[in-house]
Structure 1
Amino acid sequence: MAISALGTASGLDLESLVKQLVQVERKAKDDKLTSVRKNLDASLSGFGKLKSSISKLQDAVKALSIENLSARTTTVKQPNEDKTYVGATAKTTATPGNFDIKVNAIAEGSRLESNDGLFTDANSIVSTTTGKMTFTAGTKTFDVDVTANMTLDQLRKKINSASANFGVSANLINAGGTAGTKLVVTSNVTGTGNSLQISNNNAELDKLSTVLTGAGPAGMQVKKSAADASVTIDGITTTSKTNTFSNVIQDVELTISNVTPAGENATLTIATDNKAAEDKIKAFMDAYNALVTEVGDLTKNRMLSSDGKTVLIEGGALNSDPMVRSVMSQITSQVSGAVKSADPKLNTLYALGITFNDQGKMEISTKGLYGTDSGRERLDKALNENYDLIGQFFANSDGIGKQLEKLSKEFTQRGGLLAGKEESIKSQIKKNDKDREAFEIAMFSFESTMRQRYGALDTQLGQMQRTSSYLTAQLASLPKFS
């Protein structure tokens, strides 16, 4: 809305006067609304930072659950560094140890070949009549329909493209001479008793089968039978129908790929992942210490100079809210207590090597007091001797992790303490916005009223000035008397 300048009629600087009156009227209320909004924004940001720090602590504790902490590493020393003989993976429940592994045999599939002289070339006719060939290895099977006058090469392609083919591969070897062209069929189904068999429903196909329908003879010969894999672990020999051995070493899966050289075995080492566990413990400590720092910054008191006027240190955004310190106190109380269900060997942070310094932050001391072990020594002992107890300490139903998770939900979830505080502040911000809108309307009305009043005054003063000028001119024109 354009507002015309005042004083044009009277010549007085009424425009500046009105602006000064509006400024005086605005200042006190505007400063109060601005200060309230600044404090509300700071408080909302403060609670957001507090929630974020608590959530990061909770995430760090989750990483110390039994599932995440009880990882096992597997290291295989191969007989020859240029070749892989044994691979291994271990579950979190596998027992650490060392194992000597000798690979005696690799599991293999079977191989069939047609007899010499049955077919002169790839275009030789397989059967003059229709029929069906059935391929079986162990419990797996599939069929191939043979059409009348199908060639050997057509049969090869049909076997390989069969939709139910479980791993059978057909090839032609053009040997020439009396051998002619030979059909070679291999199966990748391994294990003793799983050799490939071919049967039919048409005696004319016996020359391509191992199981006869007619009088024979069978035209396919077994050149290699399916065989088991065999390994010897610490002097104990065991077999598997595949090259994977599950739970031969409990909760460990072995995969073999080559027979080990004579007198040169592979060595498997299963160990706890101490480094990963220590990294997770330190991440937990860092998250807790970051929360301590955040709470300290949010609740620090304002510091003034000796004259009581100059601000030396600004107060924290939440320094007037006792709930923040209460939240920190509850978390500290939870992490510093003993876990009743944990093993007595490791049921406190102290036993894990963690203590609190003068600032209330966690640390791992490198020096022991009064002849006791240092924090570093206690942590090493926990990792090397009581590794699996660490997970119990954090993840049992009354463990630090579970209790912190419970506290975090109480603080941060919808309807929780911190979430409730945030909602309250947001409501106050909305009220501040409405108060600001009402204030601006009031100030507009106040300025309009001032302009109306001083506008009327300006008009009256202008008229009076014009009347004065007229009278002065009239008086000046009267005859002069001596």
Structure 2
Amino acid sequence: MAIGSLGAGSGMDLESLVTDMVSARRDTKVKLYQDKLAGYEAELSALGTVGSAIDNFKNYVKDLNKEELFSGRNVIMANGDETPSFSVNPDKTASTDEYSIQVTQLAKGSRLISDISSFSSRDEVVTSSGGTLTLSIGDEEFEIQVKPETTLSGLREQINAEGKDHGVSANLVNDGEGHTFFTITSNTTGAGNTLHIDSSNLTLDSAALGGFFPGMSVPEGGEAQDAYIVVDGISVRSDSNSFDDAIAGLSIEALELSQEPVKVEVTYNQDQVKETIQGFVSAYNDLIAVFKQSTARGAVLNGNSMIRNLSSSLAGELMSTHASDDSPFTSIFDVGVDLQDNGTLAFDENKFNRAVDADFDSVATLFIGPNGLAKSLDALLDNYVGPRGMNNTLKDSVNKSISDTEESLADYEERMEKYEASLRSKFTSLDTQLANMNAQGDYLNSMLNKL
């Protein structure tokens, strides 16, 4: 038997004796603390899983509780695979109806071009003395102060720099036959907004006299013009390609000319509502599955009152009537949501489509009406989620229990260290006494052997 430092004097294995005595008193109690901590950790993990499932379900409930979900509109354009000649954006006030729309004219800005004989080079000087050039578009005008010795190229750069805030730009075109054309373009659309140029306050060089600015003209098709669309046989004008008031609730943007009228159907945003309800059903089923797993026989949350109360409240809300008095539907089970024997939900798309086609507003009332399911569930789940929700309150309680148990274990370990120190002190004294007695015995034996 190996002998440690404790017992070296007596020759006894006092080290093992101390270890066994400490272990006999310590190990069982420490294991109880450790088992208790493991149970708390398992409970905390289970509450985390439950909390995540509740949060996920709450997110779908919030999506279902948004008024804009049911007030949204969808636009169907019967133009096949062709590139659309216009776009339509509805708002929640748009009526669900069908329209025939055709773009017959696009709005565009105007363009001025110099006479063919005015210039042959971009480096030609326009004016040697300078002056003022006035550009006007409809009721708006602005002036450009032209410096002496300004060339055609320099004037182009000046117009581009000073005219950009007015939607005006200039360019030079060389036809390759010795003619340079000066063009000025305005992007301001609408009839009556054709670009005009006044050079009466600008002294022109002889090369440009009677040619350049006085000779600038609007080419055929270069005038600013309105846009026209035809809505159900009615011609509608706009000074831009946007038609915000042609049909109430619809913003129409003309993109290109239509070869023929296009059928446009405005419907409720049925697909998005359907997808949101399907997500709600799926999240509810996930939540129920977590509840069952967490509270099964032998599971750490078996008998948990929070889960029991929430499960009961959810079932009660689903079974309640959330319709208005004049609704053809009494509950969500009339509009495509079915309750299964195992407590989960299923979604019947055909039943949902029939309900929406029959009365979309009543379907919406079931979820977001004054007594709607989504509103009720949203309020109910507020008691369980968030920093002050019941689930976090339970987690805080478990965390406190973990902290208290860890503190108790630390205190007990400290007491065990003191107990071991006390044993070592006592056995050290005993070892010294036994060593002295052994020494005395050895001395007496040696004396007796000499007699």
Secondary structure (helix, strand or coil) at the match of 1:326 reads helix
The answer to whether the aligner puts 1:463 opposite 2:446 as a matched pair is no
Q: Where does residue 379 of structure 2 map in the other structure?
A: 406
Shift of 1:439: 1.5
Q: Where does residue 59 of structure 2 map in the other structure?
A: 59
Deviates more, 1:234-243 or 1:318-327: 318-327
Q: Distance in 2 between matches of 1:139 and 1:21?
A: 105
Q: Is the 8 A contact 2:323 2:371 kept in 1?
A: yes
Q: Distance in 2 between matches of 1:136 and 1:346?
A: 63
The answer to whether the aligner puts 1:360 opposite 2:343 as a matched pair is yes
Shift of 1:418: 2.5
Q: Where does residue 188 of structure 1 map in the other structure?
A: 187
Q: Is the 8 A contact 2:37 2:405 kept in 1?
A: yes
The answer to whether the aligner puts 1:442 opposite 2:415 as a matched pair is yes
2:232 equivalent among 226, 231, 234 = 234
Secondary structure (helix, strand or coil) at the match of 2:333 reads coil
Q: Distance in 2 between matches of 1:295 and 1:343?
A: 37
Change (3 A) 1:126 1:343: farther
Shift of 1:45: 2.3
Q: Where does residue 35 of structure 1 map in the other structure?
A: 35
Structure 2 unaligned blocks of 5 or more: none
Shift of 1:447: 1.0
Secondary structure (helix, strand or coil) at the match of 1:202 reads strand
Deviates more, 1:271-280 or 1:18-27: 271-280
The answer to whether the aligner puts 1:253 opposite 2:251 as a matched pair is yes
Change (3 A) 1:85 1:340: closer
Measured against aligned partners, the alpha-carbon deviations of 1:239-278 in whole angstroms (never above 9, x if no partner) come to 22222222423322222222223xx333333334444332
The answer to whether the aligner puts 1:202 opposite 2:201 as a matched pair is yes
Q: Is the 8 A contact 1:133 1:144 kept in 2?
A: yes
Deviates more, 1:378-387 or 1:11-20: 378-387
Give RMSD over aligned pairs: 3.1
Q: Is the 8 A contact 1:122 1:151 kept in 2?
A: yes
Q: Distance in 2 between matches of 1:127 and 1:85?
A: 46
Change (3 A) 1:134 1:22: farther
TM-score, length basis structure 1: 0.82
Q: Is the 8 A contact 2:327 2:362 kept in 1?
A: no
Q: Distance in 2 between matches of 1:288 and 1:27?
A: 46
2:278 equivalent among 265, 275, 282 = 282
Shift of 1:15: 1.7
Deviates more, 1:344-353 or 1:22-31: 344-353
Measured against aligned partners, the alpha-carbon deviations of 1:259-302 in whole angstroms (never above 9, x if no partner) come to 223xx33333333444433222121011111111222222223x
Amino acid at match of 1:66: E
Change (3 A) 1:176 1:340: closer
Measured against aligned partners, the alpha-carbon deviations of 1:325-354 in whole angstroms (never above 9, x if no partner) come to 112222332233222548623452211222
Secondary structure (helix, strand or coil) at the match of 1:10 reads coil
Q: Is the 8 A contact 2:163 2:169 kept in 1?
A: no
Secondary structure (helix, strand or coil) at the match of 1:411 reads coil
Q: Which structure is richer in relative contact order (CA contacts within 8 A, separation 6 or more)? A: 2
Q: Distance in 2 between matches of 1:291 and 1:83?
A: 45
Counterparts of 1:90-109 in structure 2 under 5 Å? 90-109=90-109
Q: Distance in 2 between matches of 1:38 and 1:55?
A: 25
Change (3 A) 1:397 1:139: farther
Change (3 A) 1:35 1:343: farther
Counterparts of 1:254-403 in structure 2 under 5 Å? 254-261=252-259, 264-301=260-297, 315-341=298-324, 344-364=327-347, 375-403=348-376
Measured against aligned partners, the alpha-carbon deviations of 1:103-156 in whole angstroms (never above 9, x if no partner) come to 211111111123443445323332333323233324655432211221222111
Shift of 1:43: 2.5
Q: Is the 8 A contact 1:297 1:316 kept in 2?
A: yes
Q: Where does residue 121 of structure 2 map in the other structure?
A: 121
Q: Is the 8 A contact 1:57 1:287 kept in 2?
A: yes
Deviates more, 1:291-300 or 1:83-92: 83-92
Counterparts of 1:41-52 in structure 2 under 5 Å? 41-52=41-52
Aligned length, in residue pairs: 443
- Aligned residues with identical type, % of pairs: 28
Secondary structure (helix, strand or coil) at the match of 2:256 reads coil
Secondary structure (helix, strand or coil) at the match of 2:165 reads coil
Deviates more, 1:112-121 or 1:221-230: 112-121
Q: Is the 8 A contact 1:108 1:189 kept in 2?
A: yes
Structure 1 unaligned blocks of 5 or more: 210-215, 302-314, 365-374
Secondary structure (helix, strand or coil) at the match of 2:384 reads helix
Amino acid at match of 1:117: S
Change (3 A) 1:218 1:454: same
Change (3 A) 1:115 1:407: same
Change (3 A) 1:174 1:27: closer
Amino acid at match of 1:278: K
Q: Distance in 1 between matches of 2:130 and 2:326?
A: 74
Q: Where does residue 305 of structure 1 map in the other structure?
A: none
Q: Distance in 2 between matches of 1:196 and 1:206?
A: 23
Q: Where does residue 225 of structure 1 map in the other structure?
A: 223
Q: Is the 8 A contact 2:323 2:329 kept in 1?
A: no
Amino acid at match of 1:323: M
Q: Where does residue 6 of structure 2 map in the other structure?
A: 6
Measured against aligned partners, the alpha-carbon deviations of 1:62-104 in whole angstroms (never above 9, x if no partner) come to 222231344433343448x564422333334433444332221
Deviates more, 1:282-291 or 1:246-255: 246-255
Q: Distance in 1 between matches of 2:44 and 2:16?
A: 40
Q: Where does residue 304 of structure 1 map in the other structure?
A: none
Change (3 A) 1:400 1:467: same
Q: Distance in 2 between matches of 1:462 and 1:338?
A: 91
Shift of 1:227: 0.7
Change (3 A) 1:424 1:195: same
Change (3 A) 1:159 1:58: same
Q: Distance in 1 between matches of 2:5 and 2:331?
A: 78
Shift of 1:379: 1.8
